[in-house]
Chain A
Amino acid sequence: DTAVSQTPKYLVTQMGNDKSIKCEQNLGHDTMYWYKQDSKKFLKIMFSYNNKELIINETVPNRFSPKSPDKAHLNLHINSLELGDSAVYFCASSQEQGAGYTFGSGTRLTVV
């Protein structure tokens, strides 16, 4: 039933490790997004894919690499994790420009 699902919900890892967050949507939407919410609750776009094609790539360190194997999935891989990467990462999807986004429940990443 879940429209946009992210796994894992919580991720605690040490500095320097590599980790991935997975996202899947069953809404048939063409576009998917990754947002980062920092400790002050500010939500910022990181990446967007439309039908497996990267269309938005904001100023994000190269250590972050999105991958979209098909239009229902958008994963986020992070290399060499740093303390500053600690945040909540939200996946979202939308059907068309201007339509509301459906968000996943978020992944709380803590780097220690």
Chain B
Amino acid sequence: AQKVTQAQTEISVVEKEDVTLDCVYETRDTTYYLFWYKQPPSGELVFLIRRNSFDEQNEISGRYSWNFQKSTSSFNFTITASQVVDSAVYFCALILNQAGTALIFGKGTTLSVSS
């Protein structure tokens, strides 16, 4: 069975600090996709990134970066120079490349950034 673990339930930082959100996944399949979603206080789910299992290149988008390591089954997310607007719940998710399967979410990490 597939599983996504976000061990950090809550993280609090002060503005301008860097913060890393951890994500560990479990699957026996070789083809899968990993995602990060953001849920701000307003409640909507915002797509941040998608990565397939064959692409271990790290990605940077502005202050956001992602580190995918198949050897440790991890897909960690780092926010550099955090801002108050980054305060949200962040979800890591996994989906297999099999019809009839759906996106499985981790339990989320609540990030609070104070000024």
Binary interface encoding of chain B residues 70-100 relative to chain A, with 1 for a CB under 8 A from any of its CBs, else 0: 0000000000000000000101000111111
CB of B50 closer than 8 Å to a CB of A? yes
How close is B64's CB to chain A, nearest CB, in angstroms? 15
- A26 to B35, alpha carbons, bound, how many Å? 23
- A100 to B103, alpha carbons, bound, how many Å? 9
Interface size of B by Cβ–Cβ distance < 8 Å? 27
Contact A45–B104 (Cβ < 8 Å): yes
CB of A66 closer than 8 Å to a CB of B? no
> Which residue in B33, B39, B100, B104 is a CB contact (below 8 Å) of A98?
B33
Which of A33, A56, A97 has most B Cβ within 10 Å?
Answer: A97
Given A41-B89, A106-B43: A97 in contact with B107 (beta carbons within 8 A): no
List residues of chain A with CB within 8 A of the CB of B32: 98
Contact A103–B50 (Cβ < 8 Å): no
List residues of chain B with CB within 8 A of the CB of A92: 45, 103
Contact A45–B107 (Cβ < 8 Å): no
CB of B105 closer than 8 Å to a CB of A? yes
List residues of chain B with CB within 8 A of the CB of A55: 99-100
List residues of chain B with CB within 8 A of the CB of A50: 99
CB of A79 closer than 8 Å to a CB of B? no
- A33 to B97, alpha carbons, bound, how many Å? 17
- Report B31-70 residues with CB < 8 Å from chain A CB: 32-33, 35, 37, 39, 43-45, 47, 50, 52
- A80 to B68, alpha carbons, bound, how many Å? 45
Contact B100–A100 (Cβ < 8 Å): no
Contact B107–A100 (Cβ < 8 Å): no
